[in-house]
Amino acid sequence: NAGVMQNPRHLVRRRGQEARLRCSPMKGHSHVYWYRQLPEEGLKFMVYLQKENIIDESGMPKERFSAEFPKEGPSILRIQQVVRGDSAAYFCASSQDSYQPQHFGDGTRLSIL
């Protein structure tokens, strides 16, 4: 499968725990984007990364959320001390460069107990 791979597909956490969401971009893509889809809301931009660099994190909550895209391995979206309001579908997209269309993975559905 040459598409954007996200795992896990479903993640259940209790309040206060940490959530780690992983994204492997399409082959040949070095630009990664994370979006969040809250119930009854549209997809909202969170962060844009290139290898080892955060380009734009203007859509990320200032606290508890962080993202990385290391030289080797997948991009990681990390949510510390999760709260009920973090329950959402988190989608990763990738592109060849910032001018090319973004292709999405199937998302990680995060549920907070």
Partner 1 sequence: QKEVEQDPGPLSVPEGAIVSLNCTYSNSAFQYFMWYRQYSRKGPELLMYTYSSGNKEDGRFTAQVDKSSKYISLFIRDSQPSDSATYLCAMVDSGGSNYKLTFGKGTLLTVNP
Is residue 23 within 8 A of residue 74, CB to CB? The reply is yes
Of 105 and 112, nearer to partner 1 (C-beta) is 105
Q: Residue 29 Cβ, how far from partner 1 at the closest point, in Å? A: 12
Of 13 and 31, nearer to partner 1 (C-beta) is 31
Q: How far apart are CA 67 and CA 52, in angstroms?
A: 10
**Which residues contact partner 1 (rule: CB under 8 A)?**
4, 6, 31, 33, 35, 40-45, 48, 55-56, 59, 91, 93, 95, 98-99, 101-107, 109
